[in-house]
Chains A and B, each alone.
Chain A
């Protein structure tokens, strides 16, 4: 009985160490996943967001992207739109917050692929956006391309993916 108890204790300790190690030194895939999910969290806003919070959130949002980021939006029925640079992105984020009262964005099914050299990564995901009074929202498949700049993963390209061509 004593041995069993000790074994269980050792197993529990090993589990805690393993969990702690993962938290302290997360894998690149996990860091990228958190970063991309943070984008969704920062795009999301509601009517209660104050001016300071708005500026802080947009600033944090913009800092997740590379200075030379390119966002290519190509959805059926609309003309292709391209945003270039962090400043452009920041302005668009402010414009969206001024145009609508709330927006809820979720990123689902994140598929993270890190290149063997661990400096570039691709994330394929399904984006779901819901505006006020919309029942179902809008769904779009997206591709994020990230690169490691001074130890930090930054998004340098976002493009829409056509599920059906």
Chain B
């Protein structure tokens, strides 16, 4: 992929009828001239490049501010589905057309969006949720959870969810129940669903 030599010539130089060029000579072995670098960075038309860069920056700002929140998972409460230090995105538009569903992995906010909990929805409004021998029970029936790979011995009395309540819990139930953050969260705290 040798560069097109005609484009390396500055506009001030003129081509002769025999095809040779007046002024400084150019050969393919020459190191890239500043004009080549300039074009690589600024493009053929710096004004359009600037507009493109501006549009790209604005799009990135809107997308990552209002639609997809970039997050980094810390801790092992969602193992083995999400590993520690993994990067993900919370899609804030996921629940524009429908409410959170059982099995969704959602971002639950604290006071704001800077830090959030990453948990799986296992209980929906109005349900009775408990744990029996490591399995989630919904209205007294055990829930099938293929994403839970690690053994668990959790037991907890069932709790009744209100009309705006969701029950969220991590996939790693092998840790002691008192060390795991889980429970009822209000709908308003659920920011969105994980993208990846």
Q: Answer yes or no: do A and B interact.
A: yes
Instruction: Show the binding face of A for B, using Cβ within 8 Å.
Output: 76-77, 108-111, 124-126, 128, 135-136, 139, 141-142, 161-165
Cα separation A124 to B110 with both chains bound (whole Å): 9
- Whether the pair B112, A165 counts as a contact (CB closer than 8 A) is no
Cα separation A164 to B74 with both chains bound (whole Å): 18
- Whether the pair A164, B117 counts as a contact (CB closer than 8 A) is yes
Given contacts A128-B115, A163-B189, contact A139 B110 (CB under 8 A): yes
- Whether the pair A141, B110 counts as a contact (CB closer than 8 A) is yes
- Whether the pair A164, B115 counts as a contact (CB closer than 8 A) is no
Tell me the nearest residue of chain B to A124, going by C-beta: B111
In the bound complex, residues from chain B placing their C-beta under 8 Å from that of A110 are 111
- Whether the pair A126, B181 counts as a contact (CB closer than 8 A) is no
A163 to chain B, nearest CB (A): 6
- Whether the pair A111, B185 counts as a contact (CB closer than 8 A) is no
In the bound complex, residues from chain A placing their C-beta under 8 Å from that of B113 are 109
Question: Which of B74, B111, B183 lies in contact with A108, CB distance below 8 A?
Answer: B111
Cα separation A110 to B113 with both chains bound (whole Å): 11
- Whether the pair A136, B111 counts as a contact (CB closer than 8 A) is no
List the count of A-B residue pairs having beta carbons below 8 Å apart. Answer: 54
In the bound complex, residues from chain A placing their C-beta under 8 Å from that of B185 are 163-165
Cα separation A50 to B112 with both chains bound (whole Å): 35
The SS class assigned to the A binding surface is strand
Cα separation A110 to B74 with both chains bound (whole Å): 22
Tell me the nearest residue of chain B to A123, going by C-beta: B111
- Whether the pair B75, A108 counts as a contact (CB closer than 8 A) is no
Question: Which of B168, B178, B183 lies in contact with A77, CB distance below 8 A?
Answer: B178
- Whether the pair B75, A164 counts as a contact (CB closer than 8 A) is no
Question: Which of B74, B75, B110, B114 lies in contact with A163, CB distance below 8 A?
Answer: B110
In the bound complex, residues from chain B placing their C-beta under 8 Å from that of A162 are 183
Question: Which of A125, A126, A165 lies in contact with B184, CB distance below 8 A?
Answer: A165
- Whether the pair A109, B111 counts as a contact (CB closer than 8 A) is yes
10 residue pairs, one from A and one from B, having the closest CB atoms: A109-B112, A164-B183, A126-B110, A108-B114, A109-B111, A126-B111, A136-B74, A77-B178, A141-B110, A124-B111
- Whether the pair A108, B112 counts as a contact (CB closer than 8 A) is yes
B103 to chain A, nearest CB (A): 18
In the bound complex, residues from chain A placing their C-beta under 8 Å from that of B117 are 163-164
- Whether the pair A126, B115 counts as a contact (CB closer than 8 A) is yes
Cα separation A164 to B111 with both chains bound (whole Å): 12
In the bound complex, residues from chain B placing their C-beta under 8 Å from that of A108 are 110-112, 114-115
Contact with A along B153-196 (1 / 0, CB 8 A): 00000000000000010000000001101111100010000000
Tell me the nearest residue of chain A to B185, going by C-beta: A164
Cα separation A108 to B179 with both chains bound (whole Å): 24
